[in-house]
Amino acid sequence: MVTIDPQDVFNKVIEKGFYDRNSLYMCCCLNAAMAQSAITYNEYCVGTSAAMGYVTQLNELSGESHDNLIHALESASGKMTESEDTFSIYTDWANRPMFEDGNNG
C-alpha cells in the first residue's frame, strides 16, 4: 500500500488553484479538487483527515468548537490569525504550530 503524505495533497490543491491565500476552508477546496479529478478520493481522505485532525486538536486545546483553521488557530494561540497564516501552514505542514495548552502561542 502506498502512503500518501498530506503535504503532497495540499501542494496539489494549492498548485492547481483550488486553495489560495484567501481561502478559509481547505476541506471544501479538497472536495472541489476531487470533484474535478485534480486529486483522488484517497488523497481527499488523507488531506481532509489531516486538516480536520489539526482543527480538532486546536479546538480541544482552546475548549471551543470551530470548523475552520483560522478560527481554531486564533482560539488556541490567543493571537489574531490571518488567511496568510493558514496558507503558510498548508504549504509547510510539517512545521505547523503545535501548542501544549490553549493560549500559549
Is pLDDT of 103 > 70? Answer: no
Q: How many CB atoms lie within 10 A of CB 54?
A: 21
pLDDT digits (tens, 9 = 90+) for 19-42: 999 888 999 999 999 999 999 999
Q: What is the pTM of this model?
A: 0.89
- Sorted by where each begins, the domain ranges of the chain are 6-90
In the chain, what is the greatest distance between 2 CA atoms, to the nearest angstrom? 41
